Structure 1
Amino acid sequence: MLGPTEAKNDTGLSAILARAETALVFLSGVSLAVIMVVVVADVTMRYAFQRPLGWSYDLIGTYLMVCVFFFALSDTLHHHGHIAIDIFAPKLPRRLVHISLAVGYGLSALLLAMIAWQAWHRTSAAWNANNLISATVPWPTWPSYFMVVVGAALVTMRTALRTLTHAASFVTGQELADLPPPPITAPHESEHGV
């Protein structure tokens, strides 16, 4: 049996979600790279040629930042990369930890599902009305709402899966769910020139 800090191999639904998360986090990384290129180009055009890119902030704010954030959410959750305050968790009984996480992930799944649902309604409305941003380049608004739908739906599925695995761990008393690794508190050789 694996310990709470050892990584489990993704199987079944988790493996399918992991593949989708990998694809979306790749797109998130590409969007971040595009943001950097656009900002450098805009600064260069602004100060070297006095011809700033009038569309750069709209592109970044409307599409690229949404992609960076929402497409990385589920992969970050999958790898336990979100901030977690776990001062008391190692001291609590395992079953209490699992039921607490099951409840927390269950409530999170409901909230994220509502976000995905509302974003879907906004996507549909923006598509049907052919909504455009009021800017130099009148880009459509629906793609940014659709990115929220995709990202929120994927993280909803990941949290729902976590809810089920933690609930199963509580019921069976077996470690069926991944728990985050304990924090590293000892300094590494590379820290502080040591």
Structure 2
Amino acid sequence: MSHVPPNKLSGLLRRLALRLAAPLGALASLSTIAIMVAVTVDVVSRNVAGRSVPGLLEMSESALVATVFLGLAYTGATNAHVAVDLMTDKLPLPVARRLAGTVWLAVSAMVVWFIYASFERASASTAASEVTHGLMEWPVWPSRWLLVVGFVAFLMISLVNTYLSFRNEPLLGEAEDFREDDELSTREEAGS
């Protein structure tokens, strides 16, 4: 696989992207576990006591938002998103990389719009102290801010992938990125 050797900026961007995405991915995973525990407790409560535990459904909804939107950056940084490579696998690598860069650039533009819209909605929700009305009132506005955080982090990953693509370098999460962060730092320092 021929590509441009990584420069110092590429290495820095890779490290920053992985350091941003990894904690958000961990939080998304914890949110998934919280959903599983909440659903299990609610099912047991319904079968044993004949009623749901107030707040578990609402908490699960908020945790689902965290799972999806905090996990976006991690998915982009590990190249784990859904992709169909039927066409790009047939193209020469430099052409495939430029095509990927164009797609990541378009994604970045869309995500800027998502950030704007989500920020506007989260601000309005916070100002109104928006809550859901189920078995209990549950604040919605914190979940709306999770969308903003998730989209901003994903924008960072998207911009890094755009840069790497147009430099004809492997994207975040491609085979060369699957190493420890410290090993990457050590290798770059040895090369300088």
TM-score, normalised relative to structure 2: 0.80
Measure, in 1, the Cα distance between the counterparts of 2:67 and 2:2: 33
SS for the counterpart of 1:45 is helix
Gaps of 5+ in 2: 4-9, 176-192
Q: Which residue of 2 is the match for residue 136 of structure 1?
A: 135
Q: How does 1:88-167 map to 2 (within 5 A)?
A: 88-167=87-166
TM-superposed CA distance for 1:3, in Å, is 5.7
Q: Which residue of 2 is the match for residue 52 of structure 1?
A: 52
Aligned residues: 169
Measure, in 2, the Cα distance between the counterparts of 1:113 and 1:140: 26
SS for the counterpart of 1:139 is strand
Q: Which residue of 2 is the match for residue 26 of structure 1?
A: 26
Q: Which residue of 2 is the match for residue 73 of structure 1?
A: 72
Q: Which residue of 1 is the match for residue 182 of structure 2?
A: none
Measure, in 2, the Cα distance between the counterparts of 1:140 and 1:38: 17
The CA deviation string for residues 81-126 of structure 1, in whole angstroms up to 9 with x for no partner, is 1122112323212221121111100000111121112111111111
Q: Is the 8 A contact 2:65 2:146 kept in 1?
A: yes
- Aligned with residue 171 of structure 2, among 144, 168, 178: 178
Q: State, as a whole percentage, how many aligned pairs show the same letter.
A: 23
Indicate the structure with greater helix content. Answer: 2
The CA deviation string for residues 112-145 of structure 1, in whole angstroms up to 9 with x for no partner, is 1211121111111111121221223222221111
TM-score, normalised relative to structure 1: 0.79
Measure, in 2, the Cα distance between the counterparts of 1:43 and 1:37: 10
Q: Which residue of 1 is the match for residue 11 of structure 2?
A: 11
CA RMSD of aligned residues (A): 2.0
Measure, in 2, the Cα distance between the counterparts of 1:3 and 1:56: 52
